[in-house]
Amino acid sequence: MRVVVELVPRDLPALEAQLGEVARLSRVAAVNVPDLLRFDLRAWQAAIEVRRAGGERWRAIPHVRAMDVDLRRPWAPLAALDAAGVDEVLVVTGDPPTDMRHDVTGAGVLDVIRMIRRERPAWRIYAALDPYRSGFAAEREYLQRKLDAGVDAFFTQPFFDVRLMDVWRELLPGVPVYWGVTSVTSERSRRYWLTRNRAVFPAGFAPTLAWHRRFAGEALDFAARHDTNVYFMPIRVGIESWLGELLG
């Protein structure tokens, strides 16, 4: 079982502070870094900082926004990531920019996966599994196309019920998965996940830290029982206050 924590790289000082918290969690094997356009620090730059700060303690997994990649030339950060010892990436479509200052190429996830696989055949390439965006059959078909393009494993959108995780595990026999778990600790946040991401919450869900500590333990038990992986996405909670007892 591999445990990953996702950190949002708002800026370098904030990232350093978060890494200080992660350093106190002995079970964390890697740090997953999304690429959000509202912040100046790009995911590949943050991944290099993760490797510098963590040494051999953690691997770094930056997101690659497919729509930003120019397929006519090698992806610019490849050499810098090689030098930092980063050899894992998560390829996502990426949210469209909200202003005209950011250019997009419109490249698709499958093409970017093929490009990275061609340029760095030894790298581990991940893609997204979204259990909410479409029906089971359509999503599983899309996942198969990603596997055919060269993906090694999937990172999921957050689950809130291990029963649904088990359904997807059975739908993907033998496929490595990192099961996502996040913190939804307000009614406003819960409404966001319901309307924006069409998430499914179980009966008895509560937007409290106590509920999320309990569910994080269930997710870790699920991962250990099935020899799979889990990754945690702390949102508006302290990393240690949520995960310290479980991952310390």
Q: How confident is the model at residue 104 (pLDDT cuts 50, 70, 90)?
A: confident
Q: How confident is the model at residue 106 (pLDDT cuts 50, 70, 90)?
A: confident
Q: How confident is the model at residue 98 (pLDDT cuts 50, 70, 90)?
A: low
Q: How confident is the model at residue 218 (pLDDT cuts 50, 70, 90)?
A: very high
Domain that holds residue 40: 3-247
Please check the confidence at residue 240 and state whether its pLDDT lies above 80: yes
Q: Are 185 and 209 in contact (CB under 8 A)?
A: yes
Per residue in 165-215, pLDDT (tens digit) is 999 999 999 999 999 999 999 999 999 999 888 999 999 999 999 999 999
Query: What pLDDT is recorded for position 117?
Result: 97
- Which two structure tokens, joined as six digits, stand for 237? 């909670």
Query: What pLDDT is recorded for position 99?
Result: 62
Q: Which residues of 97-107 are buried (b: 16+ CB within 10 A; e: fewer)?
A: eeeeeeeeeeb
Residue 15, domain CATH? 3.20.20.220
* Across 11-21, average pLDDT: 93
Please check the confidence at residue 163 and state whether its pLDDT lies above 70: yes
Q: What is the Cα–Cα distance from 216 to 184, expressed in whole angstroms?
A: 12
Q: Are 15 and 49 in contact (CB under 8 A)?
A: yes
Query: What pLDDT is recorded for position 95?
Result: 72
Share of the chain above pLDDT 70, in %: 97
Domain count, the chain: 1
Per residue in 109-129, pLDDT (tens digit) is 999 999 999 999 999 999 999
- Phi, then psi, of 168 in degrees rounded to 5: -65, -35
Residue 240 CB neighbours (<10 A): 16
Query: What pLDDT is recorded for position 124?
Result: 98
Tracing tokens 């990192």 back to the chain, one arrives at 178
pTM: 0.94
